[in-house]
Amino acid sequence: GQIPTIMKVNSSNSLAAGGSAPTQAITGSVSEALRLGCSAIGFTIYPGSDAAFDMMGTFQDMAAEAKALGLAVVLWSYPRGGGLSKQGETALDIAAYAAHMAALLGAHIIKVKPPADALEQPEATSVYQATGLPRSTLAERVNHIM
């Protein structure tokens, strides 16, 4: 059988100067994905980055084009930048919000990093404590953000 191929249409640059807002450059297109026989396009956004809104807008445009042409859309939603700590990038409350943002943007498939048993936002901490949401195992945390 054939293995479905996803064309990643944006990419980061690990050689970029530090201190700039986390973002990605467009490195592919929907037309290229079709020409190559891909089944989907893939895109990464960084909720929390100063560039997040631009990334989301670009994703929306490319996703609409891909969907209109019958391609699936995969979205990697990786929080970083802004006021997030390194631990906060995978904190349960932040990972849940990243998944939520990806769903709102209309992704068919959503990829987030496995959520840690940590909370980043003080407001979220009180809510999670009050609800008693089970979160001690990875399975419980993944179940929560899905």
pLDDT digits (tens, 9 = 90+) for 9-23: 999 877 776 667 788
1 lies in some domain:
no
37 lies in some domain:
yes
Mean pLDDT of all residues in 22-30:
92
pLDDT(24) > 70: yes
List residues with catalytic annotation: 78, 111
Number of domains within the chain:
1
What range defines the domain where residue 32 resides?
A: 6-145
81 lies in some domain:
yes
Query: How far is 131 from 89, CA to CA, in rounded Å?
Result: 23
- 45 with 76: CB under 8 angstroms? yes
Which residues are CB-contacts of 18 (< 8 A; sequence separation ≥ 6)? none
CA 25, 85, 48, 19 torsion: positive or negative?
A: negative
CATH of the domain at 17: 3.20.20.70
What's the pLDDT at 16? 72
- Tokens representing residue 134 in the block: 């089970």
120 lies in some domain:
yes
pLDDT in tens, 79-126: 998 889 999 999 999 999 999 999 999 999 999 999 999 999 999 999
